[in-house]
Structures are given as structure tokens and as C-alpha cells.
A = this chain, B = another copy of it.
Amino acid sequence: MTHAREMLDTYPGTTAMDASALVECIEACFDCAQSCSACADACLGEEEVSHLRRCITMCLNCSDVCATTGRIISRQTDFEPAMAKAALQACAEACRLCGEECEHHAREMNMEHCRVCAEACRRCEEACNRALAAVGG
């Protein structure tokens, strides 16, 4: 479905960390960037939008951080571990905050888009933490 693995396998050099952890994290970041943009939009489309303000803000923030982190770890030329760590830490935090908020609405208000988005956030948070371990963070 995505070309992330093939792009990494054809990189003309050695990659900065374990390729599987890297691909998993890149794909999770781009997927979570999409899910969070879509969840902010779905919340905005709900009748109860005034109860979903925090969820919308968390989703917008998380989408931006994931998109940026997905790009940073896609870059292998002169890969800088300090930069990767800072981005991955911010991303894991954004996913944790957004995932908790979405999880809450999935449970309490039965919001299915929040359930799906919480899943994307959790997967991305875990992938960021694994990538942090791989990069020595």
C-alpha cells in the first residue's frame, strides 16, 4: 500500500537504524497524520461539536507533529540522532495526549471515528518509542 519500505531499501547508503523499526515508524506517522486530520474533521461534523473542542485541538496538533516526524525520520542523509530524538519524543507525547482524548470519547460517547483515531495514535506512539530505543534515545 505504501512505498516506504522500497524507498528505504533503495537508499544509496546505510540507514541510521534498524530498517524495520524505521519503516514501521514512518508508516505509523503518516497514517496518524491522516487519521488525526480526519478525526478533527469528523468531530467538527458532530452535532455535539462544542463538547469536542479539546479533541479537535489535540487532533490538529497531533496531525502536524506526526507529519513533521514522519518526514524527519524519512531523511537518512546526515541523519542527526539528536534531531530524531527530539522529534520522536514530541511525537510520542502528541500521540499519547491525542490517543487518550480520543479513547475517552470512543468509550463515553461511542464515537467510532475517535476509536479508529485512538488506534492510529497508540500504534504511532509505540512505533515512536521503539524508534527512540533504536536510535539510542
Seen from chain A, the residues whose Cβ lies within 8 Å of a Cβ on chain B are 1-4, 6-8, 10-13, 26-27, 30-31, 33-35, 37-42, 44-47, 49-50, 53-54, 56-58, 60-61, 63-65, 67-68, 70-72, 74-80, 82-83, 86-87, 89-90, 93-94, 97, 112-113, 115-117, 119-120
Contact = CB atoms under 8 A, between A and B. Distances in A.
A74 B72 CA distance: 20
Contact of A117 (B7, B26, B86): B7
A74 B37 contact: yes
Contacts of A76: 41-42, 45
Given A61-B75, A65-B87, A97-B83, A2 B113 contact: no
